[in-house]
Structure 1
């Protein structure tokens, strides 16, 4: 994609919103703190009945339906290299939520490769923000077609910096570490600076960091299918989290949970999160250390 990405995202967003191709889900939110980490809990606004209907439509999708083959042209931002397209999420909870989709069908359980990370790096080298991946249904993937995801990082919302605080900044790129106070299995890998970097070099660096993090966790990073896991990247770090299941007490958790972003379809489930505690909830869908 040769044109600047953010204006193209906004142009596609505005046109798709006007035509009805984009169907955002409006939410309310609450900040909940656990272990010194702020978690943003979102739920569908009770004032917006149409958004509840949109959420129901998204959850009722035929599991054999592939919305990315081909993607809706009204939601398609443009190419990211030869193998990927940038496509807006049709039912976004977060504005400018971008999907990085393989042009041909590739299973979501296949290992991420250099081309996948290079496409992600094209986005992050220009825009920063938060990249993430749900490796399999147990990790929160809602589609079988391989797609990474990106959202802008906001002051109030999911952000990896809430979990990288205190990690050794002086580690050279490719080095791995853990945060001792996080109760689930994970591995962080240091990355070179994303913003302004060459996307191809950065994609190789992302992939190297991914393989090293997987090796540290005993995850087979080249096996088909891979065991379920989440990946997040931002703020100079990449983290891999093995997963054991998608739900805890009817609450579905995807990668954004491990960046402090949780979503519930009904407001009464906020009390469930409050009772369990966000850290314990995340540990229950991951693997306890």
Structure 2
């Protein structure tokens, strides 16, 4: 274990400041605007300068042809935040849109299609319990995973200035008083297949939280009939986790109308490369794009 994990948020902040100074972090500059649909204030971010990430991706693809290139093995020292037990490490997301966005990566290579284990979720929870934000997992390439090495992510609130929490939460929280803990349902307001459940983890250790989350996670896989053999999932999906609830969304394809969607899209935050893509979202509307990459219900 690294230094005392009680102060993980301070470490994330300090590492971010230093990595920015040393130019190890390459933040992606964006403009943003809100687009309201069905009482959801979607955050649409427009990239100011996509070239840097595109160039990095080209370089990475070139690397990937050289046997099995993996940016997490080894990870960059300047992005390292802390050890999470003996199996996972917390590092900064190099190409971040929001500061203090972290990745929870397995020390040894594991494929991103593998099901989440108790150790994954315990490491995840060590971070999530100390960060006021959203945890997520892009399970497989159809779900927007850009790296094949297993990694979970935590991004702090707000996802954009002048916003609170994240957009989809308005709809989800309406069900808090109607559902008992761990009860899984599908929300009719959303045009794509998904499952949500609430949990109460106050005062519990990371391991206790992980056990509860793992149980709901396994039930959601069954509920949504996501095909898996107990270790690897054939079906791709997105998973959103907060301190109060979690949601799983099965995926059919990685993009619609040229727009790539990962878990953050289902949280209500979409990223577009240019004005043309922004116009596409305005024409088709966010929920229609999400329905196209998910499964229509």
TM over 0.5: yes
Q: 1:278 and 1:163, CA in 2 relative to 1: closer, same or farther beyond 3 A?
A: same
* TM-score computed with the length of structure 2 as normaliser: 0.90
Is the 2:126–2:206 Cα contact (8 Å) retained in structure 1? yes
Is the 2:240–2:263 Cα contact (8 Å) retained in structure 1? yes
2:136 maps to 1:132: yes
Q: 1:203 and 1:36, CA in 2 relative to 1: closer, same or farther beyond 3 A?
A: same
The equivalent of 2:111 in structure 1 is 107
* Deviation per residue, 1:93-145 (Å, 9 max, x gap): 11111000000000000111111111111111122310001011010000000
Is the 1:256–1:262 Cα contact (8 Å) retained in structure 2? yes
* TM-score computed with the length of structure 1 as normaliser: 0.93
* Deviation per residue, 1:165-221 (Å, 9 max, x gap): 321335333221121111100111222236x53100001111111111111111135
The equivalent of 1:75 in structure 2 is 79
The equivalent of 1:6 in structure 2 is 9
- Unaligned regions of 5+ residues in structure 1, if any? 46-50
The equivalent of 1:116 in structure 2 is 120
- What CA distance in whole angstroms lies between the structure 1 residues aligned with 2:56 and 2:145? 13
The equivalent of 1:48 in structure 2 is none
- What CA distance in whole angstroms lies between the structure 2 residues aligned with 1:111 and 1:157? 27
- Unaligned regions of 5+ residues in structure 2, if any? none
2:213 maps to 1:206: yes
Is the 2:182–2:197 Cα contact (8 Å) retained in structure 1? yes
The equivalent of 2:69 in structure 1 is 65
Q: 1:96 and 1:160, CA in 2 relative to 1: closer, same or farther beyond 3 A?
A: farther
Q: 1:157 and 1:173, CA in 2 relative to 1: closer, same or farther beyond 3 A?
A: closer
Is the 2:42–2:167 Cα contact (8 Å) retained in structure 1? no
- Give aligned pairs, total: 283
The equivalent of 1:255 in structure 2 is 263
- What CA distance in whole angstroms lies between the structure 2 residues aligned with 1:285 and 1:93? 22
